[in-house]
Structure 1
Amino acid sequence: MIAVSEILEYLSFGDTGWGDELLKGLWITLMLAFTALPVGLILGTIVASFSISKSRTAKTFALFYTTIIRGLPELLTLFIIYHGVGLLINQILKWFSSKNLYFEFSPFLAGVVALGLVFSGYSAEVLRGAWQSIDKGQREAGISLSMKRVQIFWLIERPQIMRIALPGLGNLWINLIKDTALVSVIALDDLMRVTNIAVGSTKEPFLFYLTVCLIYWGVCIIFERILEILERRSNRGFRSNN
């Protein structure tokens, strides 16, 4: 049984402990999640707009996109982006330039792209359902007022879509935070990779894995409370069906 003094020493800040490394790893984890979130939301909104479009081509593309993204394991998507896309970009550079140009696909960028794509595939379906639940008469009213399609979306539809989709998007955000742990396999010094390094160095897997478990749990609890507040605020003035 590990002593309390040893636990405090392992988790302390400074040269003898791993507290500062874990804190830096948590910072990278949160930065990764917050950077991937807008990427996923923008792509998801675009794909959702395609899925409700009158164009058969756009609908087919949206169906193909969401089927592929949701059908692939997140870890496989990460490997495809990090290894495959990086190799493809360098091959294209070799074709179009005689100089020895090299594009380095950083683990952070690969993580943002991969997690953003995964988030977009699921958020597109959430946003599509919210979009289709809006009364079409509001769109027709906007058209009758000579509003452009972009204005109708931004001023009339967007606020209602976000209110309806917020619970589903909130669940996807919590999943996104937990999925950041996958990026540790491509050498990004996030919270999970720092924990693995600490375990290898100290041979105390139970202590560090339990610590990182509590950190992830605490972060998710904080964001769940924030999302609960946002949901209450967004539903002000709406009568509950219960």
Structure 2
Amino acid sequence: MDLTFLSFGSLGWGDEMLKGGLMTFAVAFCAYILAIIVGLVFAFLKLSKFMPLRFIGNFYTVVFRGVPELLIIYLVFFGGELLLSKIANGVFGYDGYVSLPLFVTGVFCIALGAGAFCTEVIRGAILAVPKGQHEAADALSLSKWSKAFDVVLPQALRIALPGLANVWQITLKETALISVIGLVEVMRSAKIASGATHQPFTFYLFAAVIFLLITSISNRGFKKVETWSQKGVRS
């Protein structure tokens, strides 16, 4: 293990590794936000009184919780590029190959899997809101939208925070898989650097340190948010 390879500048790979770490965080953060939005939508679908909507919600969570994330990436990236290329060729007469943007593809694929877990976390949190809160909203003659977004959802998100924190950890770790499509995040940077220097242990260990650093900072952030959300709540 030679730490001189982690120096900055033209002689070291430290700057490339840190750039890869920033890319990892960017993908994880964007995918996480998208996953929460997807989770909210499909949680309401699963709680709907209409069977077709419940079927759509259940189908999504069963499929994307059961299919490996790596397989989702392969299907979306390679299958999507092939499909778009055929459409471009058949409809527009374009003979070239259509490539998907790597960052957008990575965020979308990670969000699909994380969104299924967010759906179950949010659905469970909504069901955990006390019945009295629903009855109080009905007594005030609130509309369905007002009841959902002003009464139920704020309380459900407070309950869901620990579960959503776990989903963040899953999302962060899943970003390591998107190196297979060529996006230069921390794992891809470590692979390139270790191949050039023949020092795999050095760079993969540094990649682990970057992941642990992001995890530890984000854990503190979630704990502060949980503490803040509990203010004024009766035990």
| Equivalent residue in structure 1 for 2:101, among 100, 103, 106 | 106
Residue 224 (1) aligns with residue 183 (2)? no
Worse-matched range after superposition: 113-122 or 204-213: 204-213
Give me the whole-angstrom Cα distance separating, in 2, the residues matched to 1:138 and 1:239: 14
Worse-matched range after superposition: 144-153 or 160-169: 144-153
Q: 1:87: which partner in 2?
A: 82
Q: Cα distance, 1:62 vs. partner?
A: 1.0
Worse-matched range after superposition: 130-139 or 44-53: 130-139
Residue 166 (1) aligns with residue 161 (2)? yes
Over 3 Å counting, the alpha-carbon distance change for 1:89 and 1:145 in structure 2 is farther
| Equivalent residue in structure 2 for 1:148, among 107, 121, 143 | 143
Q: Cα distance, 1:135 vs. partner?
A: 2.9
Superposition pairs for residues 149-228 of structure 1, below 5 Å? 149-228=144-223
Amino acid at match of 1:152: K
Residue 40 (1) aligns with residue 27 (2)? no
Q: 2:8: which partner in 1?
A: 13
Amino acid at match of 1:123: C
Q: Cα distance, 1:39 vs. partner?
A: 1.3
Q: Cα distance, 1:206 vs. partner?
A: 1.4
Q: Cα distance, 1:178 vs. partner?
A: 1.2
Q: Cα distance, 1:159 vs. partner?
A: 1.0
Residue 57 (1) aligns with residue 71 (2)? no
Residue 131 (1) aligns with residue 126 (2)? yes
Over 3 Å counting, the alpha-carbon distance change for 1:102 and 1:156 in structure 2 is farther
Amino acid at match of 1:72: V
Give me the whole-angstrom Cα distance separating, in 1, the residues matched to 2:212 and 2:178: 18
Q: Cα distance, 1:102 vs. partner?
A: 5.8
Q: Cα distance, 1:81 vs. partner?
A: 0.9
Q: Cα distance, 1:50 vs. partner?
A: 0.6
Amino acid at match of 1:228: K
Give me the whole-angstrom Cα distance separating, in 1, the residues matched to 2:190 and 2:93: 43
Structure 2 segments unaligned to the other structure (5+ residues): none
Q: Cα distance, 1:117 vs. partner?
A: 0.4
